[in-house]
């Protein structure tokens, strides 16, 4: 039973928590080249992050995803995972990562109770990978994925943001890689979050339907009814365990079934990725340190703020000034 029901009768069962705004990459669709990060005192402490996670599970949330920024650059991340991994009522505990830190951390994460991993991977060409991430090393990410498999993570999912003219020619290679390595893969439409300096979003927009058509030139995609409580629509392919997912905030609006909220790195509870409706959880935690009841009350009181839908458009306008690393993708 969840205590969190919004005004459109949607039950909130899934929270994404951003544990840092910092990152060792500077992906072109996510950050600008020069970023200013938050002063430490504005960022939730590990204790506050753990309290937020416990408050949500006590209110009926069953799925928690840690994200960022890059969660694996947050000092103490494995301690936080240990703590959250022990919470009663948590059915699915996941992390989205760029994969570069998995060589170092995969084993501790698995031992700490993390169930699943999403690893972002937009190109299999080392040069292009470097250009898209501005700093990333492809081999390190691939080694990280293998380290995670060795540590016992199953059904690792790749996330690929496809940009026209940048990496849309790699869609089939990415699917082949996923099949070979026994990974799932989701293709994500670029969202207009933050004003990135690298490209105009109207020009690079590539719809999920276009990506799907490309894949279908080589493979048959069979729709599945499976759900991971997330926004992906999944397909399977004959002769392969790998699933292909599409996350399509533009072309297939998924707001009607939205069961998610987000907590930003500053402790703002965001009721919708595409809107500014939010409440401040940090101030409650700092006024009543370690006391979970006022925090739970604030979360319950925020539910009527969850808007019916977002209004992203594909013309490249920036509608939300937050960068994705602040929000947690
Ligand atoms: N650093 C981790 C990573 O890259 O997986 C976690 C945070 S990142 C913000 C989460 C996901 O958001 C990544 O899969 C990334 O590709 C995606 N993302 C970032 N900016 C985006 C944008 N403007 N539109 C769509 N997806 C975006
Ligand atoms: Fe960092 Fe992830 Fe954003 Fe890339 S998408 S810059 S890895 S937070």
208-216 helix and 171-181 helix, angle to the nearest 10 degrees: 70
With a cut of 60, say whether residue 292 has pLDDT above it: yes
* Ligand 2 pocket at CB < 6 A: 23, 25-27, 30-31, 68-70, 98, 120, 324-325
State the closest ligand 2 atom to the C-alpha of 69, by its place in the atom list counted from 1: 8
Cα of 123 to ligand 1 centre, how many Å?
Answer: 14
Assess if residue 167 is contained within a domain. Answer: yes
Assess if residue 4 is contained within a domain. Answer: no
Pocket test for ligand 1, best of 263, 324, 326, 328 (most atoms within 8 A of CB): 324
Number of domains in the chain: 1
Pair 262, 276: CB distance under 8 Å: no
Assess if residue 8 is contained within a domain. Answer: no
Cα of 324 to ligand 1 centre, how many Å?
Answer: 6
How do residues 184-225 score in pLDDT, each as one tens digit?
999 998 887 666 667 777 778 899 999 999 999 999 999 998
In this structure, the strands spanning 116-120 and 92-97 are parallel
Residues 6 or more apart whose CB falls under 8 angstroms from that of 286 comprise none
- pLDDT > 70: percent of the chain: 87
Tokens at residue 281, please?
A: 């959880």
Assess if residue 99 is contained within a domain. Answer: yes
- pTM as predicted: 0.92
Pair 186, 246: CB distance under 8 Å: yes
Assess if residue 295 is contained within a domain. Answer: yes
Q: Whose CA is nearest to atom 4 of ligand 2?
A: 27
Which structural domain, as residue segments, surrounds residue 93? 14-327
- pLDDT > 90: percent of the chain: 73
Pair 111, 132: CB distance under 8 Å: no
First CA to last CA distance, the chain? 26
Assess if residue 30 is contained within a domain. Answer: yes
Q: Is the CB of 29 within 6 Å of ligand 1?
A: yes
The chain-wide mean pLDDT, for the chain, equals 90
Ligand that comes closest to the CA of residue 206: 1
For the chain, list the strands marked E by DSSP.
14-18, 63-67, 92-97, 116-120, 157-161, 184-188, 222-223, 233-236, 243-247, 260-263, 268-270, 278-280
With a cut of 70, say whether residue 268 has pLDDT above it: yes
In this structure, the strands spanning 222-223 and 233-236 are antiparallel
> Residue 221 half-sphere exposure, CB side, CA atoms within 13 Å?
21
Assess if residue 222 is contained within a domain. Answer: yes
Cα of 329 to ligand 1 centre, how many Å?
Answer: 5
State the closest ligand 2 atom to the C-alpha of 136, by its place in the atom list counted from 1: 7
Cα of 288 to ligand 2 centre, how many Å?
Answer: 33
CATH number at residue 55: 3.20.20.70
With a cut of 80, say whether residue 118 has pLDDT above it: yes
Tokens at residue 212, please?
A: 């799907």
Could you tell me the pLDDT band of residue 323, with boundaries at 50, 70 and 90?
Answer: low
Q: How does DSSP classify residue 193?
A: B
Assess if residue 3 is contained within a domain. Answer: no
Give the pLDDT score at 198: 74
Q: Give the three-class secondary structure for 44.
A: coil
C-alpha span between 116 and 113 (Å, rounded): 9
Nearest to 327 by CA among 48, 25, 31: 31
Could you tell me the pLDDT band of residue 321, with boundaries at 50, 70 and 90?
Answer: very low
């Amino acid at each position: 039973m969840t205590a969190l029901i919004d005004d459109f009768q949607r039950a909130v069962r899934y929270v994404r928590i951003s544990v840092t705004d910092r990152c060792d990459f500077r992906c072109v669709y996510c950050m600008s080249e020069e970023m200013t990060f938050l002063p430490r005192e504005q960022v939730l402490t590990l204790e506050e992050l753990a309290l937020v996670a416990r408050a949500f599970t006590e209110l009926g949330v069953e799925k928690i995803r840690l994200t960022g920024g890059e969660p694996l650059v947050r000092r103490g991340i494995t301690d936080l995972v240990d703590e959250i991994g022990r919470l009663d009522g948590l059915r699915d505990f996941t992390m989205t990562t760029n994969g570069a830190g998995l060589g170092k951390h995969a084993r501790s994460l698995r031992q700490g109770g993390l169930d699943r991993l999403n690893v972002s991977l937009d190109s299999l060409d080392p040069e292009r990978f470097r250009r898209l991430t501005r700093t990333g090393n492809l081999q390190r990410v691939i080694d990280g994925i293998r380290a995670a498999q060795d540590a016992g993570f199953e059904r690792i999912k790749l996330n690929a943001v496809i940009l026209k003219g940048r990496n849309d020619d790699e869609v089939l290679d990415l699917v082949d890689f996923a099949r070979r390595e026994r990974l799932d893969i989701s293709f994500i439409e670029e969202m207009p979050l933050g004003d990135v300096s690298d490209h105009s979003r109207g020009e690079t927009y590539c719809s999920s339907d276009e990506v799907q058509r490309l894949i279908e030139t080589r493979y048959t995609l069979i729709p599945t009814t499976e759900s991971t409580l997330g926004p992906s629509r999944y397909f399977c392919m004959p002769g392969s365990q790998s699933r292909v997912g599409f996350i399509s905030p533009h072309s297939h609006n998924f707001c009607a079934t939205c069961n998610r909220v987000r907590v930003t790195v500053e402790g703002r509870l965001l009721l919708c990725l595409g809107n500014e409706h939010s409440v401040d959880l940090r101030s409650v935690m700092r006024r009543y340190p370690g006391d979970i009841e006022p925090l739970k009350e604030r979360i319950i009181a925020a539910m009527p703020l969850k808007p019916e839908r977002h209004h992203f458009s594909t013309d490249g306008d920036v509608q939300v000034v937050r960068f994705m690393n602040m929000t947690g993708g």
